[in-house]
Amino acid sequence: MEKLYTDNQYSDMACEANAEGKKLIKVQEEIEYEVTVYEWEKKIIEVPIYNEVGEIIGYETIEVDDYTKPIIDPETGEQKYHIETRTKWVERLEIVDNSENFARCFFNTSLGYVRRKAFVKATGEYKDFLADMLAGMEIGQKIITYNQDLQPSFQLVTAEFIQECKDQYNNDFYGG
């Protein structure tokens, strides 16, 4: 089986999948591809025929390509060839949705999905949104939320949003 990716590509896509709350999978599939087959004159050879114990019991005459004698196209002066379609098994990478991981990374509110671990630009740290940041939330403050395709947008904090966050915190802590 042919891998259609490098170790570096695997690593990069794994990081991308994690950042998006998705998972990276390996997809194995049979694909068609074209190959150029050069044409050669034929020659007749004899090959031995063996019995069950490996003794030669005769010879068979077969026709094979003579790789010392290419067939030349009289119009172009180049070796004749034809194109054949073949199949092979390959393995490629694909990033797919991971609802379990998405739920671990985001929670849903009336303003959109909120990332549980928020990046704080000022310090370069990640903070737990509910445990570390909820207490300082104020109505009218700007926050980043996401839609289901993880497209970010800025929203203004509402009283309803703060209550949803408190409910989510309690639900996480006590189970729901």
Q: How far apart are CA 42 and CA 55, in angstroms?
A: 28
CA distances from 155 to 35, 102, 167 (A): 55, 20, 19
Cβ-contact 93, 24 below 8 angstroms: yes
H/E stretch holding 73 reads none
pLDDT at 122 over 90: no
pLDDT at 11 over 80: yes
Cβ-contact 5, 71 below 8 angstroms: no
The position carrying tokens 């985001």 is 106
pLDDT at 24 over 80: yes
Residue (of 13, 20, 29) closest to 97 by Cα position: 20
What is the rounded average pLDDT of the residues 17-43? 91
pLDDT at 102 over 80: no
Predicted TM-score of the model (pTM): 0.46
pLDDT level of residue 176 (50, 70, 90 thresholds): low
Q: How far apart are CA 165 and CA 115, in angstroms?
A: 12
In sequence order, the β-bridge partners of residue 64 are 43
Q: How far apart are CA 26 and CA 23, in angstroms?
A: 10
Q: Domain ranges for the chain, please list them.
A: 1-36+86-97, 40-79, 99-174
Cβ-contact 126, 118 below 8 angstroms: yes
pLDDT in tens, 38-72: 999 999 999 999 999 999 999 999 999 999 999 99
Q: What is the pLDDT of residue 42?
A: 96
